[in-house]
Amino acid sequence: MRRSGHQARQGRPVVTHVTDHPIREITEDRERARAAADPLADVCYLVTVASPERAEARALTLRDITDEGFGILINRTSPKWKQLSATDTATLLIHWPTVRRQYRIWGGITPMDASRVNVYWARKNLGSKLLEYYYTTFAPQSHRIASRSEFLAGIEELRRRYPDRDAVPRPESLAGIYVAPREIEVWHGSEERLHDRRVYQRSGAGWVGHTLVP
């Protein structure tokens, strides 16, 4: 109501503009955040819907950012996987304080190539690899268990089975996916608090953008 009244008063429509590529902008901002040693440069927050009354958010490692979208690795035994599978959409939040940027990304889910998942698997340390096996050998991710010692006993058993980090095969349960953006909302923080906010929507091969009230 207030917005249309404002437009009528101003006598001009909301301006639509086309940007080359918001994903490229995010990639460049990430490079600057990394150069500034931003501890959140490789972190994003995935928001899923568990039920109409309940959204669930969690931090995840943000892998690659490509034209396909924002790459993350998650285990198929986890609650978030079931939630993603039910809606086939997700929201990602990215915040890089060192460069005063926030991005809110909404989109569909597409699979990551197995070769790409293998690259990330190879980089994981032994503990991380054993953990992936724990989910299918003992209990799914986020499952309640009796105690931490029960968990560590399971990990020790897996360590005996897979002592060599480089020889642990990648389990099928580890999924690589992209959140393929349909909408990207950009927040550029300003010192004066008059932040620059824009929203971009996919339009064919490009993007259409609008300015937002900060």
Ligand X SMILES: Cc1cc2nc3c(=O)[nH]c(=O)nc-3n(C[C@H](O)[C@H](O)[C@H](O)COP(=O)(O)O)c2cc1C
- Is 76 an interacting residue with respect to ligand X (CB under 6 A)? no
Q: Is 139 in the site for ligand X (CB under 6 A)?
A: no
Contacts of 75 (CB under 8 A, 6+ apart): 81, 132, 135, 140, 141, 173, 174, 175
Instruction: Confirm or reject binding of residue 142 to ligand X (CB under 6 A).
Output: yes
Minimum CB separation from ligand X for residue 80, in Å? 3
With contacts defined by CB under 6 A, name the span among 52-60, 105-113, 169-177, 184-192 that binds ligand X: 52-60
Q: Residue 91, interface with ligand X (CB under 6 A)? A: no
Q: Is 73 in the site for ligand X (CB under 6 A)?
A: yes
Q: Is 79 among the residues that bind ligand X (CB under 6 A)? A: yes
3-state secondary structure of 63: coil
Tell me, what DSSP letter sits at residue 99? Answer: G
Q: Can you read off the two tokens belonging to residue 114?
A: 């197995």
C-alpha 198/C-alpha 175 separation (Å) is: 32
β-sheet bridge partners, residue 79: none
Length of the chain: 214
Cβ-based nearer residue to ligand X, 72 or 99: 72
The binding site for ligand X (CB under 6 A) comprises 43, 56, 58-61, 73-75, 78-80, 141-142
